[in-house]
Structure 1
Amino acid sequence: MVQNKWNTDAFAEFAASAGDNAAERALLEQIYASRLIGSDPDLVLHGGGNTSVKVTRPDLFGAGEQVMHVKGSGHDLASITAAGMPGLRLAPVRALRGLDRLEDAQMVNALRGAMRDASGPYPSIESLLHAFLPHPFVNHSHATAMIALADLPEAEAVIREIFGDRLGVVPFYKPGFELGCAAADVFDTDPEVEGLILLNHGHFAFAEDAPSAYARLIDQTNAVEAWLADHARPTPRRATAPAPVSTDDILPALRGALGAVSARHTGSADAPMPIIDLRQSDEISAFLARADLAELAGRGVATPDHVIRTKNYPLLLDSQDIGAAVESYIADYTRYFEENAARYPEGKTLLNPGPNVAWIPGLGIAGMGENARAAAIAADLAEQNIRAMAMAEDAGGFYPVDEARLFD
């Protein structure tokens, strides 16, 4: 279960610098909550999730205007500061909801134009969803239990069983204008809801004050985790456990195969060799011993928030023919790219088609990247993905968003 780490005394000390400035105090309250959320890997990982707070500040003429501070892209909740939460004039952002259509490039320009400080970081891609909600304090996470719930085949029925009408259910849309409008429409049908589940995506919780919004995020997450545990079916196991394999037999050959992919993709024999971050634990070993492992490997990533770091599918190394497995992965990824890129007249650029995550029965799971940080991020997200996959599959089924919508 996720712990509520809010400490009134620690917060009072943290917010002392705000003095009597209500807007600064509210911002510090949300920064404090954001750091608590960001510090828990079962809530968010590596820049995932976002938070916001709405305050009143004087404009250039001294009149009060509503301002929303929201996490800036590229900032990590665990260490966020005021500089990482750019302020947006709320009125022009909320006015965007009246449009029938808004292209991503137009949204970027509109959000930039609404910034009180144009030199600040670009606001989160989910800024519209935050803005369209009325609550002062809004938190968004990709908690392990919540993304497992969001990927169940009968997710809405389960949400109603757990929460009744206290949470709204939002169909899948890619982050941006359509998701923001859809979420606001769901909220408007019942303004008494205390949060939103975004199917195949994640979770929003909100309230009138920071401690309550944070507590709702924690309590709702724990209610889902408890339900998943209570409804878990026996995990299907292989008749015989995967035979242990040696890192010396696997990792050098895997690294060499991935290095060859990089050299071929870049056209340079001097392309840097990838780094591999291997993870091993009893939980990982148990997952890799599942009888349905190959099927799960082909289902896709638990939340679209992870795909840029992990790609949609892992490389499943269930044999010693590493080179053939890597080439098969590249062929599948290239097919996926070409089929989906064909829908975009302006074209898309194929990234390195090699895998970012490997599942290696008998050894562990691995994150791969061009440097140690990229490899560690991929490995961390891969660990969360297998936990979410196992939770969902054992409690009803793991069915994430399809690859066409994920590509978008």
Structure 2
Amino acid sequence: MKNGNVYRVVFRNQTEYHMEIQTFNHVDYLWDEAKAASMQGDEVALFLYRSNILGADLRITNYGGGNTSCKTMEKDPLNGEEVEVLWVKGSGGDIGTLTRKGIAGLYTDRLRNLKKVYRGIEQEDEMVALFDHCIYDLESKAPSIDTPLHGLLPFQHIDHLHPDALIAIAAASDSEAITKEIWGDRMGWVPWQRPGFDLALQLEECLEKNPSIRGIVLGSHGVFTWGDTSYECYLNSLEVIEEASAYIESNLGKKRPVFGGEKMTSLPAEQRKAQAAKIAPILRGLCSSEKSMIGHFTDDERVLEFVNSHDLERLAPLGTSCPDHFLRTKIQPLVLPLEKDEDLDDAQAIKDKLLAAFEAYRTEYQNYYNTHKRANSPAVRDANPVIILYPGVGMFSFAKNKQTARVASEFYINAINVMKGAEAISSYTSLPRQEAFDIEYWLLEEAKLQRMPAEKPLSRKIAFVTGAAGGIGKAIADKLAQEGANVVLADISEERLQEALDTYPQDVAATVVCDVTNPVAITQAMEATALAFGGVDIMVHSAGLAISKPLEDTSEKDWNILSEVLVKGQFNLAQETVKILRKQDMGGDLISIASKNGLVAGPNNIAYGTAKAAQQHMVRLLAAELGKDKIRVNTVNPDGVIVGSKIWEGKWAEGRAKAYGITVEELPAHYAKRNLLHEIILPEDIANGVFSLVGILHKSTGNIINVDGGMAAAFPR
């Protein structure tokens, strides 16, 4: 069940009780009694289940935000005695996807005994290292900074969440009074304080002074709720969020119109996407002045309500309030100085117009750093915006990969919800700039960044691969994705594309149905690529077909289809890709999958061999023309890729077998025997050839790499 009614038994005393109905309209009630019953007796499993269903609703907490815990009695392996153990989400985890491997298990009494050595808020960061001395489970994930907030509170099950409604109350200028108005004495309130051991002491003190409360609102931050069982904790969390949401909803528009009312209307949906596709590569190039970025676009109705409002100019510069928000979105967004229906076809003119806005943003960010840095602050980070707002069109986000960009977008939508709620019930207040800086450039946060694994060779790259639903094209897309790239799979078969897409993790790949013989389809495919990831860096033309016939049997239709797919398709793809590459001004790669047959003559191959030779020479011509743009253009020549290749599924195999006087079954061995290395060539071998050109040989253009096992007649000369 999602929104709906939940029946609760409420006891007046040991013998009297009555039924209450709890209605949820603002959160999803996802507790499955049967599923929970299967975990009965395993409190850790129930805590993980509760975490996952809480994390499934982005109104309750955003990706990676908040943390949950439970406490159990376990046998101490050192003395056999029963001890209480705190199980809590580990550092860097996400409650929506939390598993046993992502939690930390600590001796609760040892964690509480750290109060004896705590030296005060100025030295509280040193407490994090001491958490390791409290570890019970040796397979624990690294404990997070929030661990003591769960350990010092006495409850068996605890949720620390970042619901939009609660943060709206927490970020209101009179947050404490509003908390009192909604819940009376049932909820505590503590002012903003950076997460850590001292905040844990503040929560403990709040509970001691108010022993009957059901939770605590954290100023500018979120909420803590609890329960004796996992279910009671879950229900308590939902009820508190529901009550906060209902209060905000009842006040929306009473004081004044939401966000001051609509200042402009949005473009129609198709026009919004068309504008976004045109400008995304320009924005990506500007955002990538220090490091290449991947983009995400949304025209969610909540975004449009905000960016089209009178209050945009006042609220956007204030920045976000919750630390989890601005750590991912930066302290504030960039609002584009463009009309919603502005002519974006002159990319250079638009780039020139936007450059001043970007330079102003970078300067302001540098000033923010210079003004608030401390003696031991890490070096300034990339000063480009993460969130970019385009009134009338939508919102862009740019980050190191698609997931991070998408999550940043989700977080800013949460921030919009917070501003909307806070403005409805009071007035919105963001975190003071010094507090925000101290979170963003926290040494513990910097240490977490330094522990991140090294990026892969093609991280931050976007590859568009034709013929990618199977065979060589799919192998190329797989290889590029394995090396860190985002990939767009283009093919004429929608069914096979979906099958191919299902083999990739979320946020890695996208698909587009594209007939490379149709220039309009190619344009639309490139627009879809810009919408999906912000632009493109690598174009691999792998789509193809093969027809093997002697001269007298080769029809005009045969000639035309080979020329259309292999040659004209490559030409059209190059034209459209280069438009985007020039908008980005970041260089790029064009790769043509040609053939040994373009270099050496063979029987019964007039149309195919000619088309492949044309592809190869077009690569040379493009390399000569595009070098000034730092666009590299190269060729990979396969030969005899029979196993796993779509070409060999048709009559081509029969034609080649006939030409050589052998059977189709004998072709792989035949091709292997005729090359110098006596190797069968696989689609993965061609993919490795492509990777060498885009991931290693950064100063190679106009080149040909033969992946044919060594065919002396085809040596380039």
TM-score by length of 1: 0.91
Q: Which residue of 2 aligns with 1:19?
A: none
Write the letter of the residue equivalent to 1:387: N
- Cα deviation code 1:79-122 (max 9, x no counterpart): 21222221101112112234341634421211011112344211
1:399 paired to 2:429 = yes
CA distance in 2, matches of 1:249, 1:104: 49
3-state secondary structure, aligned to 1:11: helix
2:126 aligns to what? 106
- Equivalent position to 1:252, from 272, 278, 281: 281
Mapping 1:161-180, distance limit 5 Å: 161-180=181-200
SS in 1 for 2:436: helix
Q: 1:248 to 1:58 in 2, by over 3 A?
A: closer
Deviation sequence 1:232-253 (CA, Å, 0-9, x none)? 2322135543677612442222
- Indicate the residue corresponding to 1:336 in structure 2: 368
Residue 277, structure 1, aligned to residue 261, structure 2: no
Q: Which of 65, 78, 85 lines up with 2:83 in the alignment? A: 65
Q: Distance in 2 between matches of 1:81 and 1:148?
A: 30
CA displacement at 1:64 relative to structure 2: 1.1
Secondary structure of the residue aligned to 1:3 is: coil
User: How does 1:1-400 map onto structure 2 within 5 Å?
Assistant: 1-13=26-38, 15=39, 22=41, 25-59=42-76, 60-98=78-116, 99-101=118-120, 103-233=123-253, 234-235=257-258, 236-241=260-265, 246-260=275-289, 262=290, 271=291, 273-319=292-338, 321-341=353-373, 344-400=374-430
Amino acid at match of 1:188: E
Judge conservation of contact 2:302–2:413 (CA < 8 Å) in 1: no
Which amino acid in structure 2 is aligned with residue 33 of structure 1?
R
Q: Tell me, what secondary structure is at the counterpart of 2:211?
A: coil
CA separation of 1:64 and 1:298: change in aligned 2, threshold 3 A: same
Give the counterpart letter for 1:310 in structure 2.
T
Pair 1:258–1:166, CA change in 2 (3 A) = same
**Letter of the aligned partner of 1:75 in structure 2?**
G
Once the two structures are superposed, what CA deviation does each residue of 1:355-374 show, in whole Å capped at 9, x if it has no partner? 11111102101111121111
Instruction: Provide the secondary structure at the position in 2 that maps to 1:158.
Output: helix
Does structure 2 conserve the Cα–Cα contact (< 8 Å) formed by 1:302 and 1:389?
A: no
Q: Secondary structure at the match of 1:86?
A: strand
Paired with 2:416 and 2:225, the residues of 1 have a C-alpha distance of 24
Measure the CA separation in 1 of the matches of 2:115 and 2:388.
Answer: 42
For residues 289-343 of structure 1, give each alpha carbon's deviation from its aligned partner in whole angstroms, at most 9, with x where no partner exists: 11110111111113111222111101111336321111111111111111111xx
Instruction: Give the aligned CA root-mean-square deviation in angstroms.
Output: 1.7
The alpha-carbon distance between structure 1 residues 239 and 126, as it changes in their structure 2 partners (threshold 3 A), is closer
Distance 1:50 1:66 in 2: 19
Whether the 8 Å contact between 1:148 and 1:302 is mirrored in structure 2 is no
> Corresponding residue for 1:268?
none
Q: Distance in 1 between matches of 2:415 and 2:288?
A: 25
Q: Measure, in 2, the Cα distance between the counterparts of 1:105 and 1:354.
A: 29
Corresponding letter in the other structure for 1:139? D
Q: Do 1:112 and 1:118's aligned partners in 2 also have CA atoms closer than 8 Å?
A: no
Q: Which runs of 5+ in 1 are unaligned?
A: 17-21, 263-270
Structure 2: distance between partners of 1:111 and 1:367? 35
Letter in 1 for 2:111: V
Q: Distance in 2 between matches of 1:147 and 1:43?
A: 10
Query: Which amino acid is 1:78 matched to?
Result: G
Instruction: Name the CA distance, whole Å, in 2 between partners of 1:68 and 1:239.
Output: 51
CA shift digits 1:5-31 (9 cap, x unpaired): 112111112x16xxxxx5xx1111111
Flag structure 2 segments of 5+ consecutive residues without an equivalent. Answer: 1-25, 339-349, 439-717
Q: Distance in 2 between matches of 1:42 and 1:101?
A: 35
Other structure's SS at 2:429 match: coil
How far does residue 200 in structure 1 lie from its aligned partner after superposition? 0.1
Distance 2:139 2:263 in 1: 59
* Equivalent AA in structure 2 for residue 351 of structure 1: R
Residues 300, 403 of structure 1: 8 Å contact kept = no
Identity of aligned residues (%): 28
Q: Distance in 2 between matches of 1:391 and 1:407?
A: 25
Q: What is the rounded CA distance, in whole Å, between the counterparts of 2:143 and 2:377 in structure 1?
A: 26
Shift of residue 347 of structure 1? 3.2
RCO higher in 1 or 2 (8 Å CA, sep ≥ 6)?
1
The separation in 2 between residues aligned to 1:346 and 1:224, in whole angstroms, is 40
Q: Secondary structure at the match of 1:213?
A: helix
Distance of 1:299 and 1:97 partners within structure 2:
37
Q: State how far apart, in whole Å, the 1-side matches of 2:366 and 2:336 are.
A: 19
The Cα offsets for residues 36-68 of structure 1, whole Å up to 9 and x where unpaired, read as 111111111211110111111111210111110
**Whole-Å separation in 2 of the counterparts to 1:248 and 1:100:** 54
Q: Which segment is superposed worse, 215-224 or 113-122?
A: 113-122
Amino acid corresponding to residue 175 of structure 1 in structure 2? P
Q: Distance in 2 between matches of 1:241 and 1:155?
A: 33
Structure 2 counterpart SS, 1:255: helix
* TM-score normalised by the chain length of structure 2: 0.53
CA-CA distance at 1:281 after TM superposition: 2.5
Moved over 6 A (4+): 242-245
State the AA in 1 paired with 2:284: R
Is the contact between residue 264 and residue 309 of structure 2 (CA under 8 Å) also seen in structure 1? no
How far apart, CA to CA, are the structure 2 residues paired with 1:200 and 1:122? 26
The C-alpha deviation readout for 1:356-397, integer Å capped at 9, x for no partner, is 111110210111112111111111111111121112113211
| Deviation at residue 283 of structure 1 after TM alignment | 2.6
Give the direction of change, closer, same or farther, for the CA distance of 1:105–1:162 in structure 2 (3 Å limit): closer
1:130 counterpart SS class: helix
Q: Partners in 2 of 1:141 and 1:356 — Cα distance?
A: 24
SS of 2:404's partner is helix
The 8 Å contact of residues 300 and 402 in structure 1, kept in 2 or not, is answered as no
Count of matched residue pairs: 388
Residue equivalent to 1:265: none
